[in-house]
Amino acid sequence: MTRFITFFNYTEETWAKMIVNPSDRLAAVRAAAESLGGTVDTLYYMFGRSDGFVISEVPDSTSAAAFSIAVTASGAVRDIETHELIAPDDLPAVLGKAATAQGTYRPPGS
């Protein structure tokens, strides 16, 4: 399974609805991830550029994209941004591949 972080912003209408009728958003997010064969590690709200983030594990990038599209299509959120997370133990393999690519990459104008 691949781990992803998804940043999101609620729309103004969604915030207004949540003030009037608070609900367990983690349960809703978990259900969506589970429908794609995944799990949710955590959901946090925060101050700043994003209203919150979800860390999930899903089978692949297609599932992560489907999750993002389904949530966006609800109209409740905007500005969804999803990134695949790289575990510290996986970084050496990534750097090894980068070294291979670096030897063949030609920068623009060279």
Angle between helices 61-73 and 25-35 (to 10 degrees): 130
Q: Work out the average pLDDT over 81-110.
A: 93
- At 19-28, the pLDDT tens digits run 999 999 999 9
State residue 107's pLDDT score.
87
Number of domains in the chain: 1
Domain presence at residue 107: no
**Per-residue CA distances from 15 to 26, 27, 39, 68 (Å):** 15, 17, 25, 19
Domain presence at residue 32: yes
Domain presence at residue 110: no
pLDDT cut 90: percent of the chain above it: 92
CATH number of the structural domain spanning residue 24: 3.30.70.920
Domain presence at residue 51: yes
State residue 110's pLDDT score.
85
Domain presence at residue 87: yes
Q: Work out the average pLDDT over 77-101.
A: 95
Domain presence at residue 109: no
Domain presence at residue 108: no
